[in-house]
């Protein structure tokens, strides 16, 4: 029972490492054609829970790496961190679950955190959330101040510029809208094609 479960979780944990460090080529060797002792129903359920956590971690880290949206990157990294902690607790509680590469995965997550900090993704995500809440409350002036603060910092999150441009458009403050659109063209990555196109087309019509 133990060997089978170890193989399952090692293979899964290695996948987490691959998502975070795509250039890493060396992965733990897996046992080919190893006999798999039958697990009782209880241990099967625990193993399935561990496997599901790993799948969520894999998917979340993949999205955090590949998404062009700061809000999405931050939220998915937070999901991965939370589920990894749950996986660690599960491993501590049930000794038959063995995990490998945890130190490397933790380090990689820390590196992503540092990358997000330098790119101001978390600050932008939190600022966008505050701005959105202020809009919902009808406090548009305060929302503008929140978005403008982010714009001054040169964030590359399309949401910030889009909401600000729309607000100024509704207020018929054309000069302010043009300023925001030009800032978006400057700061939003061209690779973020869908949003970049929206700003470019809107600017061309002015």
Sketch the domain layout of the chain as residue ranges: 2-118, 121-204
What fold does the segment set 121-204 form as a domain?
1.25.40
pTM over 0.75: no
- pLDDT band for 44, please (50, 70, 90 cuts): confident
Does residue 22 carry a pLDDT above 80?
A: no
pLDDT in tens, 137-179: 999 999 999 999 999 998 888 999 999 999 999 999 999 999 9
154 Rama class: left (phi>0) / alpha (psi -120 to 50) / beta: left
Between CA 111 and CA 134 the distance in angstroms is 32
- How far, rounded to the nearest angstrom, does the alpha carbon of residue 145 sit from its chain's CA centroid? 26
Closest to 77 (Cα-Cα) out of 121, 13, 15, 128: 121
Whether the per-residue pLDDT at 134 is higher than 90: the answer is: yes
């Amino acid at each position: 029972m133990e060997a089978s479960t170890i193989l399952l979780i090692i293979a899964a944990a290695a996948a987490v490492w691959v998502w975070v460090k795509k250039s890493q080529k060396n992965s733990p060797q897996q046992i080919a054609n190893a006999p798999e002792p039958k697990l009782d129903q209880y241990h099967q359920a625990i193993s399935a829970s561990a496997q599901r956590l790993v799948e969520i971690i894999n998917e979340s880290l993949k999205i955090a790496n590949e998404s062009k949206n700061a809000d999405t990157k931050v939220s998915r990294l937070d999901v991965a961190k939370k589920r990894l902690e749950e996986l660690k607790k599960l491993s501590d509680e049930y000794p038959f679950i063995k995990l490998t590469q945890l130190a490397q995965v933790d380090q990689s997550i820390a590196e992503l955190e540092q990358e997000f900090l330098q790119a101001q993704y978390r600050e932008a995500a939190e600022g966008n959330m505050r701005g959105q809440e202020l809009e919902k409350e009808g406090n548009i002036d305060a929302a503008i101040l929140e978005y403008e603060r982010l714009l001054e910092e040169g964030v590359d999150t399309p949401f910030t510029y889009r909401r600000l441009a729309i607000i100024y458009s509704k207020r018929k403050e054309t000069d302010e809208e043009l300023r925001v659109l030009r800032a978006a063209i400057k700061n939003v990555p061209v690779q973020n094609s869908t949003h970049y196109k929206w700003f470019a087309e809107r600017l061309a019509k002015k």
